[in-house]
Amino acid sequence: MSLLNDHVVLVTGGGSGLGLGVARHCLAEGAQLAVMELSAAKVAALREEFGADVLVLQGDVTSLADLRACREAVLERHGRLNALIGTQGIFDGNVPIAEMAEDRLYALFDEVLSVNVKGYLLSARVFGEALQASGGAMVFTTSTAAYAADGGGAAYSASKGAIRSLVNQLAFEFAPHVRVNAVAPAGIANSQLSGPHALGLSAQKQSDIPTDAFLSMFRSLSLLQELPTPEDHGPLYAFLASRQNRIMTGQTVVADQGLLNRAVLTRGD
């Protein structure tokens, strides 16, 4: 039996990168899938790839109206929701704050924290009742930047640390009916995280970094040398979203290829 048979699963931010890889894996595991995505172009691509069997909705995770419309569409089509998987996020360009104009910090903080944190908070509120009714699960996305410096700039790292803490609190508030967990990836091949408008980086993506340079940096830090794809993360999200997970809530699974486990100093021969 597939892991997500008889599960209605909604993936927010599922139009590209990690979210698309997770959505594809959930579908392969038997889920009745719905995807919410902001970009109209990505929505069109999703509908072309998945066809009529997958409910694809355009919406903004920072908008209560869009989230409510998504909830109503999912419930109208499927009558229930078993899992909410949140994968949306934006990067901050890893720009040190000392190199930013002071008057841009307000906009940067508001933009990054709005998508990366408020989007999850609003989603939990809007979909919480449906998930309580089904004994379901929330699975959100944080980052190794929540655990160690230099995984992003100050705004991104602060947002990812906030998500980790938010998961702890939501698990407490929704217990015992809803399991709330997170995944913290490190490097991801073909990451589509874009930069913030506040710094003029919205057209740039993490995948724009030259492949050789990114791989060299990744392999110098990680114990496992293969850079994982978005689809490689799918099994973690699928398990946490499924009824097979009967024992984990309030947890963040660090999927870092051993990045945080390496020695500070390399021993000599």
Q: How far apart are CA 90 and CA 193, in angstroms?
A: 5
Q: What angle do CA 180, 16, 139 make, to 5 degrees?
A: 5
Q: How far apart are CA 102 and CA 77, in angstroms?
A: 48
Alpha helices in the chain (DSSP H): 17-28, 40-50, 64-78, 105-113, 119-134, 154-174, 211-221, 234-241
Q: How far apart are CA 36 and CA 56, in angstroms?
A: 6
Q: How far apart are CA 249 and CA 170, in angstroms?
A: 9
Q: What angle do CA 138, 144, 150 make, to 5 degrees?
A: 145
Q: What angle do CA 260, 261, 264 make, to 5 degrees?
A: 90
- The token pair at 115 is 């998508």
Among this protein's residues, is 156 annotated catalytic?
Answer: yes
Q: How far apart are CA 68 and CA 131, in angstroms?
A: 14
Phi, psi (rounded to 5 degrees) for 185? -75, 165
Is there a contact between 257 and 228 (Cβ–Cβ < 8 Å)?
yes
| Strand bridging mode 32-37 / 137-141 | unpaired
Q: How far apart are CA 115 and CA 23, in angstroms?
A: 19
Of these residues, 120, 147, 156, 237, which one is catalytic?
Answer: 156
Active-site amino acid positions: 156
